[in-house]
Amino acid sequence: MRPMNLKIFLVAIVFIAADFVPCASARQAEEPPAERFRRAISDQLAFAERVALLESISKEHPECEWADDALWVLGEWARRQRAPAKMLYYWQYLMSAHPGVALEPYTRSLAVYERSLLPQVRRMLIAEGVAYSAEQPRLLEGKSGGFHVFENASRFNATPMVVWGEIAATYEMAGKPRLSLKAYRKALDRAPATGYWREIYTKRLEALQSKLAATGVGEPGVETPAGADAPITLTTNIDNEQSVPESSETTSESSRTD
C-alpha cells in the first residue's frame, strides 16, 4: 500500500470510530432500567461495572420501579462484604428516596435476596400470623407450607423495617448511639403492631436510651443520619472492589412478599 493510500485509510478509520462511539452511548442511554438491572446482576461483568450500572438506574431513573431495587442490592452487597460505610451510604439514600421500598418479584428470586435477612424475617412473620405470602392471599387457622397461619394475617412489607434495623445496628456497632437511636425509632415505626419484631426493636431502643441517659448524653441534639430525611446525590462509583460471592441464578419461587 502506498503512503498516501495508507494515510487516507487511517483517516477513514478515525471517522468510522467517531461515528460508532456516540451510537454505543445512545444504546446505553436507551437501555430500559429493567434490562440494565438484569445486566448488573449477571456475573458476566466486572464488579465495578455492575455497581456503575445499578447506580445509573438510581441517578437516571429515580422514579422507576427498579431504582429502589438497585439501591437495596448495592447496600446488601456492601453488607455482605462487611463494608459498613458503603452499606450506610446506599441504604440511607434508599430510605430517603424510597421510604416504602418494595422489591420486585425478580429481585426476590435472586441469590442476593435469598442470602439476605429478608427471607428469614418473612418466615418469622408468617409463623407469627402477622403476614402471609403472596402465593396464599387468604389464610385460615391451620398450617400452610410448614408454618402456622392465622385469620388476622395480612400483607406486610418488611423491607423498610429490616433496612432501618440494619442501619441502626451498624451505627450502634460503630459507637454512634444517637444515630442508632434515630434509626431504631424508624425501624420501630415500620414494625408490625405486635410480635417479635416490635418487641425486639422496642427493647433495643429502650436499652440505647438507658445507655445515653447513663452517659449523660440525653435526648437533646439527636443527630439525623445522613440521608434519613433529605435526599443524597450519588456522585461516585465504588472502585477497586472484588466481585461479591453472589450468583445470578434464580430460585424456584419468583414471587414473594418481603
CB atoms within 10 A of CB 134: 13
Give the domain CATH number at 76: 1.25.40.10
Higher pLDDT, 1 or 72: 72
- Does pTM surpass 0.85? no
Assess if residue 10 is contained within a domain: no
- In the chain, DSSP assigns E strands to 142-144, 147-149
Question: What is the number of structural domains in the chain?
Answer: 1
Assess if residue 12 is contained within a domain: no
Q: Which domain holds residue 128?
A: 20-215
pLDDT of residue 28: 52
pLDDT tens digit string along 88-145? 999 999 999 999 999 999 999 999 999 999 999 988 988 887 776 554 444 444 444 5
Q: Following DSSP, what letter does each residue of 48-75 receive, concatenated?
A: HHHHHHHHHHHHH-TTSTTHHHHHHHHH
pLDDT tens digit string along 12-49? 433 434 443 343 344 456 789 999 999 999 888 999 99
Assess if residue 55 is contained within a domain: yes
Assess if residue 158 is contained within a domain: yes
pLDDT of residue 217: 59
Indicate the length of the chain as a whole number: 258
Q: pLDDT band at residue 1, thresholds of 50, 70 and 90?
A: very low
Q: What average pLDDT does this structure show over 179-188?
A: 96
C-alpha grid cell, residue 59: 441517578
